[in-house]
Structure 1
Amino acid sequence: MPTYIVLPIITLLAIALAKIEQVSAFGLSALPLAIVFGMLYGHFSLRVEDKREQQFSTFCKQKLLRLGIILFGFGLSFQQILAVGWQAVVVDLVVIGTVFSVGTFVGIKVLKLHRDVAILIAAGSAICGAAAILATESVLKPKQEQVTIAIATVVLFGTLAMFSYPFIYQWVDMSEQSFGIYIGSTAHEVAQAVAAGQSINDETMQTAVVVKLIRVMMLAPFILMLSSVLCHLSNRNDSRIASTANGCASSRIDNKAQREKSVIIIPWFVFGFMATAMINSVVILPESLKAVLSFASQFSLAMAMAALGAQTQWASIKKAGPKPLILALILFIMLICGGFFLNSWLI
């Protein structure tokens, strides 16, 4: 069966399963389900893609991915920030900055992971799971297996965190709203924030979702800042190379080529994401239209995940070893424990 038929089927199946109560109770959204089904298909399928199918897979991983993130903005609004107060915004900012900084440092300097793997895992843990990893991928341009490894680790520990919140709630002295802020500021995925909050009560769930969506909104400035920082680091490395060059023609050509690569990669879809969130903040959209846009966003992102999974080799994931899991575990502990003390102090 051609890829352009299989991937939509996988996507619809993942979306349908995510709506089943028993599945959603585990905090599994359509995105991680789509990548798992895609990986299973890619592993067991003996079909060799022709040029047309390869182009379709590339279209899903690039164009549909960006479209999905842009449409995702229609589910957010700036009024949601006002509803929970400035403290929740501060908590989200501190969580994102701390988790991402520690994650990249420990991953690269201590665990000696590939830079892209460390950044992807740190971004997914700090912001919004698989969606953040896919958005960060547009700046890093990593290998497919590196993206899949990052998503797998974030989904694993995000699910573990989701089951930890109800247990923690029994032993702490926090109000339902405060605990909702704690969940929203530390949960990996939006679906996991919903499931964890719902296990307490509706008020906790609503607060958790709003705070989590504020973290999602911070994805746009994060991607722009990351692109700028990576460009600065690349330019600095190029300057060092140029200072040690012996002045021969070949060296000048190599340095010129490196400088051409050292430009800020502007992910234009981020501005689309910000624009749709702004539209949703100032225009009251019909609920039926918002439902259509939400489905279109979910379908586009799930298609991108399915295409990514279908072209990922299991051997590449096994080759990565335990270090990505160790990094994700460290960030999981930071989110659960460090996030709790941060919320206790500020909220």
Structure 2
Amino acid sequence: MMNVKHIKSIVKSNTKGLVFTACIVVFSMYLSNIQSIKDATHLAATAFAIIIGVLLSPWFFKYQHTFQAGVHFSAKKLLRLGIVLYGFNITLTELLSVGFNGFILSTIVVSSIFITSVIVGTKIFRLDKETSMLVGAGSAICGAAAVLALESSLKSDPFKGILAVGTVVIFGLIFMFLCPFGFAFDLIPGFDQNAMGVYMGAILHEVANVAGAADMAKDMANFDQKAANIAIIIKMMRVILLVPFLLIVTYFVAKNQHSDHGKTAKTLTIPYFAFAFLGMIVFNTFLASRETFLGIDTNTIVSIGRNLCTICIVFAMAALGLQIDFKKFLKSGARVFGLALFLGIALLIGGYFLTLIFKGILW
């Protein structure tokens, strides 16, 4: 009986925020389907959702107590569900085509950006090591999810996590728009669509940023689904690296610090959705070899999965936009903002040359 009441409570607390976010999603998808608007802007529903979310963010914060639970659910749970369902767009053949070399590229990005963040953050921007580590984790691995996971492991001040999340959300969104525009207007020399896929997967902060940028690029330029898949695969390799990253960082932090105030280590946050994403790829590969599954046409199953994936990601993009509090961020996080900007530029420039180095190896 208590379980039923608990479920009802969860549904009730999320409903208003989900309905609010759903209104943005419906309007965004409506705008993206108007041909005249599509021809003029080349923006996908994901882009409209984030723009509308940002514009409505002051109103959201005014009534945050009413909508927060549902918006948070959209930004976290639906995003992860959307990424899992993205596996319907990828087969094992494509995943293996990126393979070990993609893993090496992802490892280089994660390790170099995180180490740079710790050194530059503490030496140049005079931030404490924990804040530098949080910003570095968010920039290097998978945005807000990495920040929150590392914050839990370090047992740091929650405000440090809020500042770090703010930076990776803002720069993730900026770069999400820069990448497809830069590719569409030939501002990135030496890149074909596959190179752009590798580049986006290697430098963008959030998984939703990669999915959104790929979606926009398909509408704006010669960027097909294969290139979009490469971007997501590279990004998901960075996400999967969160597991060993947390274990290694936590080990060294525990080794170098004394156990004071009687604190005990918290359970590490493992990104299980990344492994579910891999499982969905295996399932999609299985479906590709059959005409029916449980009496249902496999093309229908894949189509439904892809549509649900799109809806979930648009929900997540709208929710991320709503949660950007620019006033609080600019007031409290100038040095944190500076570090995130430095890391963003490092990702843009370093990622470009790293992609060129791997040209002929990954594709």
1:111, 1:23 → 2: CA distance?
42
Q: How many angstroms does 1:69 deviate by?
A: 3.3
What is the match of residue 143 of structure 2? Answer: 133
Matched residue type, 1:41: L
Per the normalisation by structure 1, the TM-score is: 0.71
1:32-111 superposed matches below 5 A: 33-44=48-59, 46-47=62-63, 49-50=65-66, 54-83=68-97, 87=101, 90-111=104-125
Structure 1 pair 94–208 and aligned structure 2 pair: CA distance change class (3 A): farther
Q: Is structure 2 residue 281 aligned with structure 1 residue 277?
A: yes
What is the match of residue 268 of structure 1? Answer: 272
Question: What percent of counterpart residues are identical?
Answer: 24
Give the conservation status (yes or no) of the 8 Å contact 2:117–2:135.
Answer: yes
Structure 1 pair 22–221 and aligned structure 2 pair: CA distance change class (3 A): same
Q: How many angstroms does 1:80 deviate by?
A: 1.0
What is the match of residue 192 of structure 1? Answer: 213
1:13-28 superposed matches below 5 A: 13-17=27-31, 21-22=38-39, 25=42
Q: How many angstroms does 1:17 deviate by?
A: 4.2
Matched residue type, 1:266: I
Give the conservation status (yes or no) of the 8 Å contact 1:99–1:125.
Answer: yes
Matched residue type, 1:79: T
What is the match of residue 216 of structure 1? Answer: 235
1:236, 1:55 → 2: CA distance?
37
How many residue pairs get aligned? The number is 319
Give the conservation status (yes or no) of the 8 Å contact 1:121–1:153.
Answer: no
SS at match of 1:81: helix
How far does the alpha carbon of each residue in 1:128-156 deviate from its partner, in whole angstroms, 9 at most, with x for none?
xxxx3243255136555642432111221
RMSD of Structure 2 on Structure 1 (CA): 4.0
Q: Is structure 2 residue 337 aligned with structure 1 residue 319?
A: no
1:177, 1:38 → 2: CA distance?
29
2:41, 2:114 → 1: CA distance?
27
SS at match of 1:240: coil
Task: Specify which of 139, 164, 167 is matched with residue 149 of structure 1.
Answer: 167
What is the match of residue 245 of structure 1? Answer: none
Matched residue type, 1:223: L
How far does the alpha carbon of each residue in 1:166-207 deviate from its partner, in whole angstroms, 9 at most, with x for none?
4445x54x7x477446645545224434655876645xx456
Give the conservation status (yes or no) of the 8 Å contact 1:180–1:197.
Answer: no
Structure 1 pair 78–105 and aligned structure 2 pair: CA distance change class (3 A): farther
Matched residue type, 2:272: W
Q: How many angstroms does 1:297 deviate by?
A: 3.1
What is the match of residue 181 of structure 2? Answer: 163
Structure 1 pair 123–36 and aligned structure 2 pair: CA distance change class (3 A): farther
Structure 1 pair 266–37 and aligned structure 2 pair: CA distance change class (3 A): same
SS at match of 2:65: coil
1:199, 1:308 → 2: CA distance?
23
Matched residue type, 1:235: A
Q: Is structure 2 residue 332 aligned with structure 1 residue 300?
A: no
Matched residue type, 1:9: C
1:297, 1:95 → 2: CA distance?
27
What is the match of residue 241 of structure 1? Answer: 259
Task: Specify which of 299, 302, 308 is matched with residue 290 of structure 1.
Answer: 302
Q: How many angstroms does 1:61 deviate by?
A: 4.5
Matched residue type, 1:290: V
2:245, 2:202 → 1: CA distance?
21
Give the conservation status (yes or no) of the 8 Å contact 2:42–2:219.
Answer: no
Range moving further from structure 2, 287-296 or 138-147:
138-147
Give the conservation status (yes or no) of the 8 Å contact 1:116–1:146.
Answer: no
Range moving further from structure 2, 108-117 or 292-301:
108-117
Per the normalisation by structure 2, the TM-score is: 0.68
Matched residue type, 1:73: G
Q: How many angstroms does 1:64 deviate by?
A: 3.2
Matched residue type, 1:341: F
Give the conservation status (yes or no) of the 8 Å contact 2:81–2:273.
Answer: yes
2:323, 2:98 → 1: CA distance?
41
Give the conservation status (yes or no) of the 8 Å contact 2:18–2:74.
Answer: no
2:220, 2:49 → 1: CA distance?
25
Structure 1 pair 119–313 and aligned structure 2 pair: CA distance change class (3 A): same
Matched residue type, 1:262: K
Q: How many angstroms does 1:317 deviate by?
A: 1.7
